[in-house]
Amino acid sequence: MIQAAYLHIPFCSQICYYCDFNKVFFKGQPVNEYLQAIETEMEQTVVRYPTQKLDTIFVGGGTPTVLEMDQLDFFLNAIHKRLPFTAGEVEFTFEANPNELSREKLQLLKDAGVNRLSFGVQTFDHELLKKIGRTHRRDDVFQIIGIAQDIGFANISVDLMYGLPGQTLPQLRDSLNMAFALNIQHISAYSLIVEPKTVFYNLMRKGKLSLPSQEEEANMYEVIMEEMEKNGYKQYEISNYTRPGFESHHNLTYWSNEEYYGFGAGAHSYVAGMRNANAGPIKKYIDLVEKTGEAYIERHVVTEQEQKEEEMFLGLRKIEGISKQRFMEKFHCPVHEVFHEPIEQEKQKGLLEETETHIRLTHQGKLLGNEVFQAFIGVI
């Protein structure tokens, strides 16, 4: 049963140098037509692949809050009309940039049932913000989160990044301390990955991108884990930390390898045993939805072998790891029957450990997660 939906708003007022998500500049785009198309896609998809009730809705981008008030109101109403959920019983998240929100927009979101905000902060260091193409400043973060808390938002997350060009450990510690001072419920901390088709990728190819060494980046990750624990944030996934009871249920859907809707240009979905990718270009997306009610350009039936592999490399991202009982219930065979060899190999390397109920990454395994995940691909 599908219990999660992701909606993609691809518009931005500024393109960050590291971002490889599907996005375009807001000005001059057919925004109203796009919002109508995403409503149509929601309506038609739920008819084709019905579900009883969603537990989590996540609106990402791009920058969803770049929408003007009337556009945002239309979009929120469309979500209420087309998706099956009960207000107050769903985790309803909106991504936002700190300097692109007003009290009025926040109140509109709150009134529409949005109860979780995820702010793209990345760093509190002004020079680093300039280096990565961000337009907000430290004060913007404190101001808008203060307003959100005043309005009544009690589930707020911020994204931080480490391994940024020229970033030092003192700069990272300063950003962590600033995040802790916000008194928020959730923090994500991701290492910079230089992706193709980004400004950073082009700079790297020209030899103009100076990044911390692998050892420095590993030290940063160690510091993040230590400081989060000291300040009351429990690590529940490789890059995510929470106060008790505020885990991201939406992201847990992905890591638990469950199915989910994906709406909007460039969105991905996993429904009826198929992983799907929507058209990315805005006009192509709108045209496809108008003609067929959907925008798939890629469809892949996930084999049982792939499901088992995904169960491992997604589930091992969670700090609790893979539940042996859940694997048995899902695939009707013990996890060791399928993956005994890679499990034992990674345990011998000191990267995996096993309890009576779970298989999980060790501390060293967290530092070398991608190496561990790779061990479970193509072994069946």
Q: CA of 328: how far to CAs of 273, 292, 338, in Å?
A: 19, 39, 11
Distance CA 380, CA 377 (A): 8
Q: Delimit the domains of the chain by residue range.
A: 4-255, 314-374
- Determine the pLDDT at residue 359: 98
pLDDT digits (tens, 9 = 90+) for 127-138: 999 999 888 999
For residue 340, name the pLDDT band (cuts at 50, 70, 90).
very high
φ and ψ at residue 61, rounded to 5 degrees: -165, -155
Examine the pLDDT at 379 and tell me if it is beyond 80: no
- Determine the pLDDT at residue 209: 85
- Determine the pLDDT at residue 18: 73
| Average pLDDT of the residues of the chain | 95
pLDDT digits (tens, 9 = 90+) for 248-281: 999 999 999 999 999 999 999 999 999 999 999 9
For residue 27, name the pLDDT band (cuts at 50, 70, 90).
confident
- Determine the pLDDT at residue 285: 98
Q: Domain 4-255 falls in which CATH fold?
A: TIM Barrel (3.20.20)
Q: CB under 8 Å to 57, separation ≥6 — which residues?
A: 4, 5, 7, 79, 83, 85, 90, 91, 92, 93, 250
For residue 24, name the pLDDT band (cuts at 50, 70, 90).
confident
Examine the pLDDT at 22 and tell me if it is beyond 80: no
Q: Domain 314-374 classified CATH 1.10.10?
A: yes
For residue 16, name the pLDDT band (cuts at 50, 70, 90).
confident
Instruction: Using alpha carbons, select from 127, 112, 114, 55 the residue that is nearest to residue 86.
Output: 55
Q: Which percentage of the chain shows pLDDT scores above 70?
A: 99
First and final CA of the chain: distance in angstroms? 27
For residue 13, name the pLDDT band (cuts at 50, 70, 90).
confident
Examine the pLDDT at 17 and tell me if it is beyond 90: no
- Determine the pLDDT at residue 204: 83
Distance CA 29, CA 73 (A): 18
For residue 241, the SS3 value is: strand
pLDDT digits (tens, 9 = 90+) for 177-216: 999 999 999 999 999 988 888 888 888 888 888 889 999 9
- Whole-structure pTM value: 0.95
pLDDT digits (tens, 9 = 90+) for 298-308: 999 999 999 99
- Determine the pLDDT at residue 363: 96
- Determine the pLDDT at residue 346: 97
pLDDT digits (tens, 9 = 90+) for 56-108: 999 999 899 999 999 999 999 999 999 999 988 999 999 999 998 999 999 99
